[in-house]
Structure 1
């Protein structure tokens, strides 16, 4: 009995470590692929004075002309340090929460299981990695010749803590959690549901040749990309205004009128942004670039995670 329990524990630990690795690699691949668009999105969301009236392509070209290729990836160092544990925790905790909810809530609809597990997973990852997101946003918002933060991660932490206090590293956390709850839930729900829909209706076109039955079907790579892209588009559209509010809080001390955002509630920030810039150019400012970076990022992330799980011998069958 002891030997059996030891074997089960070892197997579960191995599975968790493999899932962490798969999630971390998936996140790094996805974020690196869209890093230039991520930089431009931050500049646009914060209404940087040099980019407030620029479109996506003009902003990309302007950043390249002023700062070179390195400028397009400014802040990506912090992004990689953040996204490795963030993605690893997100995907791993999603599997854990989903398994727990399925085992102990037998009468709950599968859709609700995916929504709740995704929400909890997203919030868990945000809490654990939030200071890195703040640092990365501030580094990316800086322009060449106008730097406030110099050096690496430790020096940036010291600068922020010295000037604004240590809790500034958690500015906007509540807003992030408020946005992550629907975002995480919707993205995982949309991915799982689209997987099931595709395999149920187009098994010959998108099903893996290794699959033997409906419960063990795996998606082909193109199908994974499509389902991941759909999941990203659905989730990002719903929560985008909250993402804008989060950026305003994170960048409040670097904006032209910091008093409008620093210390304000989410609702006050959303109202201020709408009054100052309108709905399209305010609350949804940068959503186009968010689709261009977020949709492929989500597609790559989900696809790489599924592929890594297959490579590492983890279960990737469709769950109802």
Structure 2
């Protein structure tokens, strides 16, 4: 087909204009690079969001690792196979002093290397997925989200990240215990797989998903709604205000979901005496009462408060440094 046709106009000679087919072809051709550019831009933004989330999580976790280890020891000290005596840890300062005397200063960060290996992809996947799910669930016209959709986005983000990194969390838990038999993270994985099977790396996954879904839902949704109420639109972000809002949302979410976290930790332990999540709830309640579900709660709250705050503020700051364009629904 000819690329152009003659156009004879009054008072002038023949002029040449593109044929309809050529115009369509040109339009298609010009549209393809634009679509490819948009796709590349989206992938580039997602990659940077992933890295920003991972870095923010690593910073926050390292800063609060000592409290995380103390909380963990409180949760499992009454279990067989934990390597600790019942009642060995009675308070935060007592536990910290005992660790310092018996194991040394760096023991407060025992298991942290595995924790960072796990938390980088976990935090990256969770924060980036939350923003992505919210963009997907937002109203096409107003770009607004209902409370229910914010909760759904947070729950899905938490479960996505957890499913990807649960084996690393199991290894980290084993390495955090005193007198563990492993030489390091790699040896722990090999030993667990050889002696207990691959499935042992996924012990406690179901209660973990059950626990993390409401936690992530409440945490993300309450933080977003607090910011929406505080800023009333396009006001400049205040990192200090965001820090306190992150502290509040994390504390509320952690308190509501803490019993599920205790059950999860105990089911991940080697030699666990529980046959199911329901059995764990019944046994803990029968032997230890309601307090058994909240062992280590104070240490956890003292950890979650700054950790959640640091993670949110760092994530937003790193995204700004990377020049990631902020969507209306983004955290």
**TM interval, short-chain normalised:** 0.7 to 0.9
Q: TM-score, normalised by structure 2?
A: 0.85
Q: How many residues align?
A: 294
Asked whether the equivalents of residues 218 and 317 of structure 1 are also in contact (C-alpha less than 8 Å), the reply is: no
Distance verdict in 2 for CA 1:108–1:220, change over 3 Å = closer
* Mean Cα deviation higher: 310-319 or 94-103: 310-319
Deviations 1:239-280 (A, max 9, x none): 100000000011142xxxx33x2xx22121012111111212
Paired residues of 2:143 and 2:329 also in contact (CA < 8 A): no
Distance 2:101 2:278 in 1: 37
**Match for residue 124 of structure 2 among 76, 88, 91:** 88
Deviations 1:198-217 (A, max 9, x none): 213xxxxxxxxxxxxx2x33
Corresponding residue for 1:300? 310
Confirm whether residue 231 of structure 1 aligns to residue 263 of structure 2.
no
2:192 is the counterpart of 1:160: yes
Specify the SS of the correspondent of 2:138. helix
For 2:143 and 2:319, locate their aligned partners in 1 and report how far apart those are by CA, in whole Å.
Answer: 28
Instruction: Tell whether the 8 Å contact from 1:217 to 1:317 is kept in structure 2 after alignment.
Output: no
Pairing 1:171–2:203 present = yes
Where does structure 1 lack aligned partners over 5 or more consecutive residues?
201-213
User: More helix by proportion, 1 or 2?
Assistant: 1
Inter-partner Cα distance in structure 2 for 1:220 and 1:107: 23
CA 1:90 to 1:26, structure 2 compared with 1: closer, same or farther past 3 Å? same
1:311 counterpart residue number:
321
Distance 1:104 1:16 in 2: 20
Please, what is the CA RMSD of the aligned residues? 1.9
Residue 130 of structure 1 is aligned with which of 163, 166, 180? 166
1:78-157 matched pairs, under 5 angstroms: 78-103=114-139, 110-141=146-177, 143=178, 146-151=179-184, 153-157=185-189
> Which consecutive residues of structure 2, in runs of 5 or more, have no partner in the other structure?
1-30, 78-83
The structure 1 residue matched to 2:285, chosen from 274, 290, 300, is: 274
The aligned runs of 1:237-256 (5 Å cut-off) are 237-253=255-271
Could you tell me how far 1:148 is from its partner in structure 2? Answer: 1.5
Q: Distance in 2 between matches of 1:91 and 1:19?
A: 8
* CA distance in 2 between partners of 1:288 and 1:178 (Å): 22
Instruction: Answer whether contact 1:118 1:185 (CA < 8 A) is retained.
Output: yes
The verdict on how the C-alpha distance between 1:228 and 1:191 changes in structure 2, with shifts beyond 3 A counting, is same
Q: CA deviation at 1:293?
A: 0.4
Q: Single out whichever of 309-318 and 114-123 deviates more from structure 2.
A: 309-318
- Partner residue, 1:204: none
1:72 aligns with 2:108: yes
Greater Cα radius of gyration, structure 1 or 2: 2
Cα offset, 1:147, TM superposition: 2.5
Give the match's secondary structure for 1:34. Answer: helix
Higher mean Cα deviation, 56-65 or 45-54?
Answer: 45-54
Cα offset for 1:50? Answer: 6.0
Three-state SS of the structure 2 residue aligned to 1:159 is helix
CA distance in 1, matches of 2:142, 2:182: 51
Instruction: Pick closer, same or farther for the CA change 1:61–1:317 going to 2, 3 Å.
Output: farther
TM-score, normalised relative to structure 1: 0.87
Does the aligned pair in 2 maintain the 1:43–1:51 contact within 8 Å?
no
Contact 1:218 / 1:316 at 8 angstroms: preserved in 2?
no
